[in-house]
Amino acid sequence: MSTTRFSFPTPIHFGVGARALVGPHLLEQGLKRPLIVTDRALAALPLLGEFRSHLTGLDVAVFDGVFGNPTASQVMAGAAAYRAFGADCVIGLGGGAALDVAKVVALMAVHDGDVIDYVWDQPGCKPITHELPYVVALPTTAGTGSEVGRSSVVGENDTHVKRAVFSPKLLAKAVFADPELTVGLPPAITAATGIDALTHNIESYLSPAWHPLCDGIALEGLRIGARSLATAVRDPGNLQARADMLMSSMMGAIAFQKDLGSVHACAHALGAVNDLHHGLANALMIDTVLDWNYEAVPGKFDELAHAAAVNGGGRAFVSWLKRLKSEIGITGGLIERGVTSAHLPRLVALAAKDFAGATNPRPAGEADYERLFKAAM
């Protein structure tokens, strides 16, 4: 597999070995002191040392304070590390959490206040007034597509409610998408992040917002991911399957500028209340929510079935998702993940207020979310 370069609009270097291009690229930009923003687990793996071996000629520091569902305090600690080191650029290396944090570390390195002050729907939201440091992104999972996204989602420190900072200024200046960086993922993480990628493509296509460009990207992203997710889980060294999932993930993130839906509203609530992994939370809710959404847009479900090469139309598409989850090892419901009826009031309240649910194809209120959470138990 060769490395290729294209832009949409972010310059993307895609293919095996793309990670080795980061050092020369930064030097070409006149940059010499990158701060690598990554998560605790990845920092303990040989992957980080191997990646650093490609950064010859650079003075490198590492901030590895990202863990779990990231919070504002992690961002502020990263920004402090950037300033203390005297960094001149940021390398985001990791899954969606690390990449989201990396982008807003760059934001807070040159802006005052707290990152929550810049949340797009926050009353009195502060404007992004300064040019952000140069950011490059290297995804090590194929799920969120944060490397090509113009937003970062972080939790409030006390409530862990997920908040989004949104601006085209958050786009990475370059992406280095190397399928080899995803080969070491455990099957459970490959499965959960893979369903996250499919969910982005599916929910963006179902959104009632009008964006034909995103619709086309979403359907193709689903087609690519649907053919390869089970292979990536079953045969983790299969670089073609890994590349397909990386591409599906990026396409989903590009497509969901059209917006998402109630699967994500539920997942965000589960992350805040039960600290569930975002991709797993999506996986636990997706077939329940889609089955409920079907009657609102049955024709769109037929198109999803066609893209995923599922025979039998839209209802069969939802059944296929259930089988796919089982095939890749995602079984059981919310109860098996520690979610109980005692959590329902807060889950329902958060999901009903979540920004993602505003573009669900079927309007959902608190009573609807209560039924959906109970059905997914």
Model confidence at 357: pLDDT above 80? yes
Of the chain, the percentage scoring pLDDT greater than 90 comes to 92
* Residue 316, pLDDT above cutoff 80: yes
Band (69; pLDDT cuts 50, 70, 90): confident
- State the pLDDT at residue 160: 86
Residue 91 has pLDDT above 80, yes or no: yes
- Residue 110: its H or E element: none
Q: Which fold has domain 8-182?
A: Rossmann fold (3.40.50)
How many C-beta neighbours within 10 Å does residue 309 have?
Answer: 10
Whole-angstrom CA distances from 334 to 202, 345, 350, 363 are 21, 15, 16, 23
Lowest mean pLDDT among 160-164, 198-202, 257-261: 160-164
């993602």: which residue's tokens?
356
Tokens of 339: 């979610």
Mean pLDDT in residue range 171-177:
97
pTM of the prediction? 0.94
187-375 shares the fold of 8-182: no
Q: For residue range 17-50, what is the model confidence (pLDDT) as tens digits?
A: 999 999 999 999 999 999 999 999 999 999 999 9
Q: Locate the domains of the chain by residue range.
A: 8-182, 187-375
Q: What is the pLDDT of residue 31?
A: 98
Only one residue has tokens 């995804």, namely 139
In one-letter notation, the amino acid at residue 337 is R
Burial of 274 (0-12, 13-18, 19+ CB in 10 A): middle
Tell me the CATH number for domain 187-375: 1.20.1090.10
What pLDDT is recorded for position 210?
94
Please tell me the distance from the alpha carbon of residue 205 to that of residue 213, in angstroms, as a whole number: 10
Lowest mean pLDDT among 102-116, 156-170, 284-298, 302-316: 156-170
**Chain-centroid distance, C-alpha 288:** 21
Helix (H, G, I), strand (E, B) or coil at 135: strand
Quick one: pLDDT at residue 1? 62
List 135's β-bridge partners, or say none.
90
pLDDT digits (tens, 9 = 90+) for 97-137: 999 999 999 999 999 999 999 998 778 899 999 999 999 99
Reduced to 3 states, what is the DSSP secondary structure of residue 274?
helix
